[in-house]
């Protein structure tokens, strides 16, 4: 057999006989009722996997492992260099804590299908909170701690939760982020009123409580009875996770329960090559999809040990932190974003700190969140001497669209490519008319419907937006929003987004959303935001402001204020630090702002004067402004 034959046979089977393929994979999951139909396409293009089946995700992640002899195995290792704490939880301990918190949540009237927002840092209680919701069949929506009150309020109004679970603070290097005042402010801002919050107090910044609304976490749990697992339909939502759209209104990606459990278990075994009982580390955050799938549900459904890391790749305390965690907990694989490795490389280019640690059990490094840039991949490969696997996925898809399936059969790595499509993914590169392009040509990457289990069935309360955003442009396909090409060996390279989404340190942001904030400043008549290349973060947002006639304050005052507004309204995670004032924006004759050209100029890439430009002089003004700001050096 030639290299790749095993993968190719599995992939071909998943497309040729999707129902047979996924029904077989579903055997690793405990179901309380078997499905009537593996794939229900009666309401296409809305597809449903495992229709008619019932199960509980928390049972699959915890209880069944305790029942089958894994009770004393570590389920979770909390490693927190920012608080100097480490703590292990066995499957039994984690199940018991989850059952008690589920009891406390149920005591507040939360039932199957009710929504619960979780706004918490990277502490074990965040994992307990997610699993406790899953246990009750309540739909959780985790909001990343780096978002501001306004973002939290938008999510509260969209999913109308009955309860918020929070912690008093998060800890960033050198600063304590008080979550509770942000939550209080969000509740003020939101139309939907929250009857109850359960607050986990951390000693670093205890929160003040609102009478008759806020409950202390430990007291609520102490008073609760453990709650059992409530079966839900396979097609019921396990969670909603908001991600950047093109406007200030984020998209509520819905994750169903059954297909997701099946896909995660499959991917843990065959994409990540991890076995039950092994230690696995995903250095993301529970606020992102990667954290949902591979800090919490994936490794626990498999019966592995998951590491929960509250720290950074550098500065907590140094660029050897990742090596310490891998060696101390004997992790067999790590999943992180390329930006984390760029940060380590910058601090310790020779990798000297690695020499103090034993990584002999470490097998594979997985990178995602942004394109794995070849220099970073080469550096990591040389240093670690293990396969470095770039894989591509999105909040919408829940797990990888493409990857190198090392648990099935390692394929050769091609730096710059995220390897080959996952089972169930028929990917095409389409031109503007929706016609498939030739191998090697760059176009829109689109997946033929139906997508595999685990991918999103719709957006929360927004079927039409789902259809318009993802399915309308290329009928019969899911538009990924990414552009790239497929080579002669079937390897996929993802090059750029086709919309206004930018990727900042592996975090997905909408430039349109930042523009909405800038446009709200009294001085600003018009604005544009682009992502400019950044050595460490991949991209960072850069703003252009056109001021209203008659504004005669110093420009730096307006700039300082808009930067603060973005931090206050979107959050520090937007990393919006640079803006310049320009006389006007370059536009086409029909009034479209030429963001693509501006970005090329800023990045020093070759660009052409667009034939449709209204006034070429506007480009000179932009270029001049960028040069003063230290960009456009190569033009
Ligand atoms: N709560 C509150 N604030 C947060 C936060 C959180 N959970 N996470 C980040 N922030 C803040 C940071 O403190 C920083 O604020 P500052 O501007 O006041 O310094 C800002 O948001 C940007 O944070 P970050 O993007 O983390 O940048 P950084 O300079 O602190 O660190 C890296 C750079 C590369 C080390 C870091 O971005 C990293 O580890 N990235 C990996 C990303 C990742 O795992 N992505 C998941 C996809 S796989
Ligand atoms: P998110 O929904 O936050 O996970 O971000 C998804 C987006 O990140 C994708 O649409 C891509 O633009 C980008 N992305 C993720 N992984 C990769 C990768 N391996 N290569 C290139 N881009 C990636």
DSSP state of 435: P
CA–CA gap between residue 275 and residue 295 (Å, rounded): 15
pLDDT one-digit tens code per residue, 229-287: 999 999 999 999 999 876 778 899 999 999 999 999 999 999 999 999 999 999 999 99
For a pLDDT cut of 70, what percent of the chain falls above it?
99
C-beta 573 within 6 A of ligand 1? yes
- The domain limits of the chain are 5-311+391-485, 505-628
Among all bound ligands, the one having the nearest atom to the CA of 577 is 1
Q: In DSSP terms, which residues pair with 252 in a beta bridge?
A: 242
Q: What was the pLDDT predicted at 633? A: 54
R_g over Cα of the chain? 24
Q: What was the pLDDT predicted at 244? A: 82
Give yes or no for residue 47 having a pLDDT over 70. yes
CA–CA gap between residue 370 and residue 259 (Å, rounded): 25
DSSP three-state, residue 379: helix
Q: Cα angle vertex 622, ends 574, 501, to 5°?
A: 30
Give yes or no for residue 558 having a pLDDT over 80. yes
CA–CA gap between residue 249 and residue 38 (Å, rounded): 33
What value does the mean pLDDT take over residues 21-26?
Answer: 98
Identify whether the C-beta of residue 278 lies closer than 8 Å to the C-beta of residue 300: no
Contacts of residue 208, defined as CB under 8 A and 6 or more positions apart, other chains included, come to 180
pLDDT band at 634 (very low <50, low <70, confident <90, very high): very low
- Please state which CATH number belongs to domain 5-311+391-485: 3.40.50.12780
Q: How far, in Å, is the centroid of ligand 2 from the Cα of 369?
A: 4
Identify whether the C-beta of residue 332 lies closer than 8 Å to the C-beta of residue 326: no
Q: How far, in Å, is the centroid of ligand 1 from the Cα of 201?
A: 23
pLDDT band at 610 (very low <50, low <70, confident <90, very high): confident
Where is 446: in which H helix or E strand?
A: strand 443-448
pLDDT one-digit tens code per residue, 441-468: 999 999 999 999 999 999 999 999 999 9
The CA-atom distances, in angstroms, between 164 and each of 184, 186, 222, 532, 553 are 11, 11, 18, 36, 42
DSSP three-state, residue 33: strand
C-beta 369 within 6 A of ligand 1? yes
State both tokens at 520: 């709200």
The position carrying tokens 């590169």 is 429
Q: In DSSP terms, which residues pair with 580 in a beta bridge?
A: 544
Identify whether the C-beta of residue 473 lies closer than 8 Å to the C-beta of residue 434: yes
C-beta 373 within 6 A of ligand 2? no
Instruction: Give the CATH superfamily of 505-628.
Output: ANL, C-terminal domain (3.30.300.30)
φ, ψ for residue 306 (rounded to 5)?
-105, 140
Q: Are strands 388-390 and 364-367 parallel, antiparallel or unpaired?
A: parallel
The pTM assigned to this predicted structure is: 0.95
What value does the mean pLDDT take over residues 191-209?
Answer: 97
The position carrying tokens 């050096």 is 633
Q: How far, in Å, is the centroid of ligand 1 from the Cα of 122?
A: 13
DSSP three-state, residue 317: coil
Nearest to 506 by CA among 393, 369, 395: 369
What value does the mean pLDDT take over residues 561-572?
Answer: 96
CA–CA gap between residue 529 and residue 160 (Å, rounded): 31
CA–CA gap between residue 609 and residue 335 (Å, rounded): 41
pLDDT one-digit tens code per residue, 318-339: 999 999 999 999 999 999 999 9
Residue 155 burial by CB count (10 A; 0-12/13-18/19+): exposed, middle or buried?
buried
DSSP string across 461-489: T-HHHHIIIIISSSTTEEEEEEEEEE-TT
C-beta 265 within 6 A of ligand 2? no
pLDDT one-digit tens code per residue, 582-605: 999 999 888 889 998 999 999 999
C-beta 284 within 6 A of ligand 1? yes
DSSP string across 203-263: TTSPPPPPTTTEEEHHHHHHTPPP--PPPEETTSEEEEEEE--SSSS-EEEEEESHHHHHH
C-beta 268 within 6 A of ligand 1? no
Q: How far, in Å, is the centroid of ligand 2 from the Cα of 507?
A: 9
State both tokens at 253: 């990606």
Identify whether the C-beta of residue 297 lies closer than 8 Å to the C-beta of residue 61: yes
Q: How many CB atoms lie within 10 A of CB 111?
A: 12
Distance between alpha carbon 117 and the CA centroid of its chain, in Å? 17
Q: What was the pLDDT predicted at 635? A: 45
Ligand 2: residue whose CA is nearest its atom 13: 370
C-beta 494 within 6 A of ligand 2? yes
What value does the mean pLDDT take over residues 354-374?
Answer: 96
Ligand 1: residue whose CA is nearest its atom 39: 340
CA–CA gap between residue 204 and residue 112 (Å, rounded): 34
Burial of 2-19, coded b for 16+ CB within 10 Å and e otherwise, reads eebebbbebbeebeeebe
Q: What is the average pLDDT score of the chain?
A: 96
Identify whether the C-beta of residue 233 lies closer than 8 Å to the C-beta of residue 53: yes
Q: How far, in Å, is the centroid of ligand 2 from the Cα of 363?
A: 23
Q: Which of 93-97, 186-190, 294-298, 500-504 is predicted with the least confidence, judged by mean pLDDT?
A: 500-504
The pick from 370, 390, 470, 495 for probing ligand 2's pocket by mutation, whose C-beta has the most ligand atoms within 8 angstroms, reads: 370
Q: What was the pLDDT predicted at 2? A: 84
Where is 623: in which H helix or E strand?
A: helix 617-628
Ligand 1: residue whose CA is nearest its atom 5: 146
Give yes or no for residue 104 having a pLDDT over 70. yes
């Amino acid at each position: 057999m030639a290299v790749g034959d095993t993968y190719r046979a599995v992939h071909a089977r998943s497309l040729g006989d999707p129902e047979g393929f996924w029904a077989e994979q579903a055997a690793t999951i405990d179901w309380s009722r078997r499905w009537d139909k593996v794939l229900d396409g009666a309401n296409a293009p809305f597809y449903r996997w495992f229709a008619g089946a019932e199960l509980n995700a928390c049972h699959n992640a915890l209880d069944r492992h305790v029942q089958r002899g894994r009770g004393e195995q570590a389920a979770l290792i909390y490693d927190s260099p920012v608080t100097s704490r480490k703590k292990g939880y066995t499957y039994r301990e984690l199940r018991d804590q989850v059952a008690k918190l589920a009891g406390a949540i149920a005591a507040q009237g939360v039932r199957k299908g009710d929504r619960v927002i979780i706004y918490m840092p990277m502490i074990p209680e965040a994992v307990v909170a997610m699993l406790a919701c899953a246990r009750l069949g309540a739909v959780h929506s985790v909001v990343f701690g780096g978002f501001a009150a306004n973002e939290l309020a938008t999510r509260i109004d969209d999913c109308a939760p009955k309860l918020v679970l929070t912690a008093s603070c998060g800890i960033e290097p050198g600063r304590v982020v008080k979550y509770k005042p942000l939550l209080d402010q969000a509740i003020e801002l939101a139309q939907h009123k929250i009857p109850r919050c359960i607050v986990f107090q951390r000693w670093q910044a205890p929160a003040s409580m609102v009478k008759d609304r806020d409950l202390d976490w430990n007291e609520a749990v102490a008073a609760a009875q453990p709650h059992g697992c409530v079966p839900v339909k396979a097609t019921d939502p396990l969670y909603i996770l908001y991600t950047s759209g093109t406007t200030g209104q984020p998209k509520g990606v819905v994750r169903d329960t059954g297909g997701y459990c099946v896909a995660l278990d499959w991917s843990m075994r065959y994409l990540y090559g991890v076995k039950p009982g092994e230690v696995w580390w995903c250095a993301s955050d529970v606020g992102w999809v990667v954290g949902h799938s591979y800090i919490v549900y994936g490794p626990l459904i498999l019966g592995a040990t998951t590491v929960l890391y509250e720290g950074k790749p550098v500065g907590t305390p140094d660029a050897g932190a990742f090596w310490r965690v891998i060696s101390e907990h004997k992790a067999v694989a790590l999943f992180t974003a390329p930006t984390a490795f760029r940060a380590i490389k910058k601090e310790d280019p020779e990798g000297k700190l690695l020499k103090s640690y034993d990584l002999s059990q470490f097998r594979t490094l997985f990178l995602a969140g942004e394109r794995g840039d070849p220099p970073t991949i080469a550096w990591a490969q040389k240093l670690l001497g293990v396969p470095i696997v770039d894989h591509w996925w999105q909040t919408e898809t829940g797990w990888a669209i493409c990857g190198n399936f090392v648990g099935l059969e390692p394929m050769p790595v091609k730096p710059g490519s995220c390897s080959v499509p996952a089972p169930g993914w028929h990917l095409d590169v389409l031109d503007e008319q929706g016609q498939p392009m030739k191998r090697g040509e760059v176009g829109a990457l689109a997946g033929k419907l139906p997508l595999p289990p685990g991918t999103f069935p719709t957006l929360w309360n927004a079927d039409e937006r789902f259809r318009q955003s993802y399915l309308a442009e290329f009928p019969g396909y899911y538009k990924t929003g990414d552009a790239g090409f497929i080579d002669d060996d079937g390897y996929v390279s993802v090059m750029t987004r086709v919309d206004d989404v930018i990727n900042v340190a592996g975090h997905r942001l909408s430039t349109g959303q930042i523009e909405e904030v800038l446009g709200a400043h009294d001085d600003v008549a018009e604005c544009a935001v682009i992502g400019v290349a950044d050595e460490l973060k991949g991209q960072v947002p850069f703003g252009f402001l056109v001021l209203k006639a008659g504004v005669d304050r110093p420009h730096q005052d307006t700039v300082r204020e808009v930067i603060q507004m973005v931090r206050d309204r979107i959050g520090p995670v937007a990393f919006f630090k640079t803006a310049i004032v320009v006389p006007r924006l370059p536009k086409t004759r029909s009034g479209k702002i030429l963001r693509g050209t501006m970005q090329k100029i800023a990045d020093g890439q070759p660009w052409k004067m667009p034939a449709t430009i209204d006034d070429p002089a506007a480009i000179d003004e932009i270029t001049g402004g960028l040069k003063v700001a230290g960009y456009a050096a190569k033009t």
